[in-house]
């Protein structure tokens, strides 16, 4: 059996998650091979707002893999995941990821700029306060997150005053 190549965001290939904070699509069938055309379609379907394609089959999968188009004007607070590791791999644009590390009773900010030239994911261990924001108008990246989704986000803590 050949793996299906998907190049269009359509009802034939995706289910829309209407409960998600940002517009989200789940693949109907896995495994699937997403073509590079998906990136262009993702951006054109975004209507200038954050949007994602979830490559994992269900919210309770142990590894969440998403292709995300995030806009600079739709930023979110710094956060940490108590029990989930995370990784970013930029496909288009520039993404700044800031880390806030506690050293000698003070918070130290470390910044990493990601572009598609990096070619290697940035790994963020669980329990690390971090903030991601596009430096370009938008950034398209793959986000990989360990552990299943919890709707109440009991493992995600937001930090509104840190940037």
* 66-92: burial string, b at 16+ Cβ within 10 Å, e else: bbbbbbbeeeeebbbbeebbbbbbbbb
What was the pLDDT predicted at 77? 85
What was the pLDDT predicted at 158? 66
Comparing 95 with 100, the larger pLDDT belongs to 95
State yes or no: pLDDT of 124 exceeds 90.
yes
Question: What's 116's DSSP letter?
Answer: G
Q: What is the pTM of this model?
A: 0.87
Range of the domain at 102: 4-159
What was the pLDDT predicted at 2? 77
CATH for 146 = 2.60.120.10
Comparing 96 with 1, the larger pLDDT belongs to 96
Angle at the Cα of 82 from the Cα atoms of 119 and 23, rounded to 5 degrees: 60
Taking only Cα atoms into account, the Rg of the chain, rounded to an integer number of angstroms, comes to 16
State the virtual CA torsion across 153, 39, 34, 61 in degrees, nearest 10. Answer: 0
Q: Is 118 helix (H, G, I), strand (E, B) or coil?
A: helix
Looking at the structure of the chain, the number of domains it has is: 1
pLDDT, the chain, mean:
86
Phi, psi of 48 (to 5 degrees): 80, 10
State yes or no: pLDDT of 152 exceeds 70.
no
13-58 residue pLDDT tens: 888 988 888 899 998 888 888 888 988 899 998 999 999 999 987 7
State yes or no: pLDDT of 66 exceeds 60.
yes
């Amino acid at each position: 059996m050949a793996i299906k190549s998907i190049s269009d965001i359509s009802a034939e290939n995706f289910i829309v998650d209407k409960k998600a904070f940002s517009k989200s699509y789940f693949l109907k069938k896995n495994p699937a091979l997403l073509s590079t055309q998906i990136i262009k379609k993702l951006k054109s379907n975004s209507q200038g707002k954050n949007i994602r394609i979830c490559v994992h089959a269900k919210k309770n999968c142990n590894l969440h893999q998403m292709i995300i188009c995030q806009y600079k004007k739709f930023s979110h607070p710094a956060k940490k995941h108590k029990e989930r590791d995370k990784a970013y791999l930029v496909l288009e644009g520039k993404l700044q990821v800031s880390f806030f590390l506690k050293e000698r009773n003070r918070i130290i900010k470390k910044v990493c700029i990601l572009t598609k030239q990096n070619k290697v994911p940035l790994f963020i261990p669980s329990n690390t306060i971090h903030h991601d924001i596009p430096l370009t108008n938008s950034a398209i990246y793959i986000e990989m997150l360990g552990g299943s989704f919890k709707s109440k986000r009991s493992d995600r803590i937001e930090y509104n005053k840190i940037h």
